[in-house]
Structure 1
Amino acid sequence: MSASNPGCQTQLLANVFILVGPGGVQSDLHIVDMECYNTFGNIWGLYLGRQAYLLLTDTEIIHKVFVEDNGKIFASAKTHRSKCPVSESFFQPDNDDWRRIHQILAPAFGPTQLRQKCGSYLQYLLDHEETKMEKGKKSLPTSATLTEDEVVAQAVGFLLRAYQMATHTLEFVAYLLARHPSVQHQLQQEVHTAIKQQGFTYENIAGMEYLDMVVMETLRLFPPVVWLQRTCQKLVEVCDLKISRGIQVTVPVWVMHHSREFWDHPCRFDPLRFTREERDLRDPVCYLPFGLGAFSCIGSEFSVMMVKVALASILTRYRFTWCSQTPMYLDIETLGVTRSKIPITLQIELL
């Protein structure tokens, strides 16, 4: 499979899509993915430079690769390691390091820890730092310890990514609430009633069902990342599909979240998609805001709680409304973290 016109930035070629040209990588990955999905169906190929990618929306194959395999054949996608401390973060290490770091950090994001401030997480990292055997020399990390570089990376990476995700999600949810005042009104009623009865506590925020549905639906429409990736480490056959060594097996999250195969009226903002009954009826593989399987984001609950606390705090005193500068539609950038290309300007009214 080769490109007949290297200068073309978006050339369709059989079931392969050329994503890179002289102008660089396209920033609208979600648009590219939707075009490929609508053209080729639930399996297609893509080249990013010389790297081949296999993109899938077949839920059976996704489950086998991302859940059942558990990282044995399909490993965490490797990225270039730099001297930057964040390169040691659990977002970027090799497969074996990732497993060790994930195992160590998972308890730091339990319900008890979520009730506390970020300082408890930083202390948790320090408590699990390796002991220096001699000054100037580092011992190899064990299954229960982190290196000094890993401690720095976890602290920096966690704070940057968690707050980045929360910031963009809050922008999107504020925009959606301003556009759907009936949803905002119902959410404010829940917030006011709950806080009046029980006060502003972790348990109270966690128990707000409609707040949870609003945030989950916002993350469906605007998932923080639009690609989940695994590296195939050897030739393997999955559901009659042969996958070669070195292929980046990728789930296009935006497609999964906006496909009519999984969602009725997928572009519509409808928090009721996330009632307990609706969740039980739906294949969990089609909703992937924070990944899937062994390599899913362990800090997702913390990020979601940050959004809920901020949103509930705001809605106790204010409401979001449109103004003359509010965009009718959002132009989305999905290369990296999902965000709006243009400022989201809203009017805030005091209740």
Structure 2
Amino acid sequence: MPLLPSLSPVTWLLLVAFLCLVVLYGIWPYQTFKKLGIPGPRPLPFVGTFLEYRHGVHNFDQKCFEKYGKIWGPGRKSLSSTGRLFGVDFLSPAISSGNSTDSPSAAVDRVDFLQLMIESQNSHDGSKSAETSLDKTLSDEEVLAQALIFVFAGYETTSSTLSYIAYNLATHPDVQQRLQDEVDAHLPNKASPTYNAIIQMEYLDMVVSESIRLYPTGGRLERVCKKTVELNGVTIPEGVVVLIPAFVLHRDPQYWPEPDEFRPERFSKESKEGIDPYTFLPFGAGPRNCIGMRFALLVVKVAVVVLLQNFSFRPCKDTPIPLDLDSKGFMQPKKPIVLKMVPRAQADLKK
């Protein structure tokens, strides 16, 4: 039996051409950054630098930052994905009632997330002017998907943020005491939190901001370049995906002296004026920043206030000090954050 199959010369030629095209397809997209003169890790055919992520996305970004500087090319020119997220039915009645002209709520001028999406569906109606008409309306499936993402995306991020804040307070008792004093001053006798009281707590805002600087819920931001531009001598072609490693940016000693230290004073009124807003990106920036930013901050602050009114956080024997982040996958503690919650009455007596 011959080692190679008996094929015609034309078939062999086509087979070799096909293999060359496959190899070219696996290598060609990685030439973009080389042509632009942008340094970066050497990608493998087809998989690029994906295998480097097994050590953790933030670790990969940190190593690239230390080796290549403030800009590097991590992989392919662009990545696009289209498809259906998911579909469920429990929001359908709300969408139907919102679209119905016979609904009693149709005459109510509401400005909320769901209503704005519903109105985008009706933007091509005859009652709408040409100026307010959108280029693309949303389908029912898109409205459902966006509404569900808006509802569920905040749960994990909020809980993670609260965990990191509790850890920072437990390991910095002086900061916790000062914050409790501020809470007691604005809400004496464990009064229920109000919006006006929350927004007046300056030190609370400083503590939350410093915690999400150290541990941002989104370690990376992505933006697609819609027009070829040149910035600081670097040309960014149209269609290129630009990744902003917020985790690395938040720990750059050029912008944050002693970046690994927990110092809420960085965000005092005096110090905040000197912070470049594009070096602090826990929620992104620009027209596509996190749509739930204000709501998320308010929820976190209310939760912190209620907890500190009743408890004090203390480290225990199982508390990981220092806090090591997992090198596999996305940013999370290598070991669970375990703290002791002491009722305020007991904590005050011991103090």
TM-score (norm 2): 0.69
Tell me which residue corresponds to 1:242.
235
Identify the residue that residue 189 of structure 1 maps to in structure 2: 181
Relative to 1, partners in 2 of residues 1:248 and 1:23: Cα closer, same or farther, differing over 3 Å? closer
Identity over aligned pairs, percent: 34
User: Cα distance 1:284–1:336, how it changes in 2: closer, same or farther (>3 A)?
Assistant: farther
Where does 1:297-336 land on structure 2 (aligned, <5 Å)? 297-333=290-326
- Counterparts of 1:132 and 1:183 in 2: how far apart (Å)? 51
Name the residue aligned to 1:103.
none
* Residue aligning to 1:147: 139
1:82 paired to 2:95: no
Distance 1:234 1:202, change over 3 A: closer
Deviations 1:25-76 (A, max 9, x none): 33522221121112222121212xxx248xxxxxxxxxxxxxxxxxxxxxxx
Question: Displacement of 1:157 after TM fit?
Answer: 0.5
After superposition, where does 1:78-227 map in structure 2 within 5 Å? 79-85=80-86, 121=112, 124=115, 128=119, 130=121, 143=134, 146-196=138-188, 199-227=192-220
- The 1:259/1:277 distance shift into structure 2, 3 A limit, reads same
Equivalent residue, structure 1, for 2:246: 253
Change (3 A) 1:211 1:250: same
Give the equivalent residue in structure 1 for 2:92.
Answer: none
- Residues 52 and 333 (structure 1), Cα distance of their counterparts in 2 relative to 1, 3 Å cut: farther
Cα contact 2:58–2:247 (8 A) shared by 1: yes
Partner of 1:16: helix, strand, or coil? coil
Contact 2:49 2:74 in 1 (8 A): no
Computed over aligned residues only, the root mean square deviation of the Cα atoms, in angstroms, reads 3.2
Q: CA deviation at 1:264?
A: 0.9
| Matched position secondary structure for 1:178 | helix
The 5-angstrom pairing of residues 37-52 of structure 1 reads 37-47=65-75, 51-52=76-77
Matched with 1:230 is 223
1:243 Cα deviation from its structure 2 partner: 2.1
Larger radius of gyration: 2
What is the rounded CA distance, in whole Å, between the counterparts of 2:237 and 2:113 in structure 1? Answer: 41
Q: By how many angstroms is 1:166 displaced?
A: 0.8
1:52-108 Cα shifts (integer Å, max 9, x gaps): 48xxxxxxxxxxxxxxxxxxxxxxxx752332238xxxxxxxxxxxxxxxxxxxxxx
Shift of 1:170: 0.2
8 Å contact 2:53–2:60 — kept in the other structure?
no
Show structure 2 runs of 5+ residues with no match.
1-25, 28-37, 88-109, 125-131, 345-351
Q: Distance in 2 between matches of 1:303 and 1:79?
A: 29
Instruction: Give how far 1:188 is off.
Output: 0.7
- Offset of residue 150 of structure 1: 2.9
Q: Residue 207 of structure 2 aligns to which amino acid in structure 1?
A: V
2:270 to 252, 274, 277: 277
Distance in 2, Cα, partners of 1:234 & 1:124: 32
How many residue pairs match? The answer is: 274
Structure having the higher strand fraction is: 1
Deviating 4+ runs (over 3 angstroms): 18-25, 120-133, 141-147, 233-236, 333-338
Runs of 5+ unmatched residues, structure 1: 4-13, 54-77, 87-112, 114-119, 134-140
Looking at structure 2, the residues matched to 318 and 215 of structure 1 have their Cα atoms a distance apart, in angstroms, of: 18
